[in-house]
Amino acid sequence: MTTTWRHLPASAREIAGAATEAVAAARDRDVEAYGPAVDRLTAADRAGLVLGGVVRLLLEETHPDGLAGDDVRQVLERCVRSAAQWRPDVDPHVLLVLLAGALGVYDPGDDDAPPDPAAIARHAPLLVADLLAAAGQPLEGYLTAAFAEVARTELHD
């Protein structure tokens, strides 16, 4: 990890460390490193919120004119195809929920329970790694921005 995250509270440092490890393992398709990093993410309270912020920021940057349905489909298909090569358990529905949640349009409805935190933790790094590759950028700046966004939201609530 190139960033120490010392300026963050302990819980945020844990999310940053776990997210950095999981996204790096996803980028490198490192099966052995991915499991423990995902376990850390699952245990980290609010990791899904932070990674959702990272996904939203990446989507905004890679689609500055906004996202159409075809854009979402292309992101989903690209991520599923890439991840399925080394993660045969990838679930397109969970990735779609992550995308919809990051865009603020996810409504589980009466018959659809949201994915559990472990499923979110297993899939969010795959999506983030895919979007980072498309953006050609490192994770750190997006994590910093996502933490700042969460802090602003908490201040105003």
**Own/partner pairs for 78-83, CB < 8 Å, 24+ apart?**
78/130, 78/134, 79/126, 79/127, 79/130, 79/131, 82/126, 82/130, 83/26, 83/126, 83/130
Q: What percent of the chain has pLDDT over 90?
A: 72
Angstrom distance (rounded) from CA 124 to CA 54 = 10
Residue with tokens 């933790």: 121
pLDDT band with cut points at 50, 70 and 90 for residue 157: low
Query: Is pLDDT at 151 greater than 70 in this prediction?
Result: yes
pTM for the predicted model, two decimal places: 0.92
Residue 116 backbone zone (phi > 0: left; psi -120 to 50: alpha; other: beta): beta
pLDDT of residue 114: 83
Q: What is the mean pLDDT of residues 5-32?
A: 92
- The two three-digit tokens of residue 20, written as one number: 């950095």
What pLDDT does residue 1 have?
43
Going by C-alpha positions, the residue among 153, 111, 123, 152 that lies closest to residue 55 is: 123
Q: What is the pLDDT of residue 108?
A: 74
What's the average model confidence in pLDDT over 36-54? 93
pLDDT of residue 113: 80
Q: What pLDDT, on the 0 to 100 scale, is given for residue 107?
A: 75
What's the pLDDT band for 8 if we cut at 50, 70, 90?
Answer: confident
Task: List, for residues 70-113, the tens digit of each pLDDT value.
Answer: 999 999 999 999 999 999 999 999 999 999 999 988 877 656 78
**21 pLDDT tier (thresholds 50, 70, 90):** very high
Q: Spell out the residues 6+ positions from residue 90 whose beta carbon is closer than 8 angstroms to its own.
A: 80, 83, 84, 123, 126
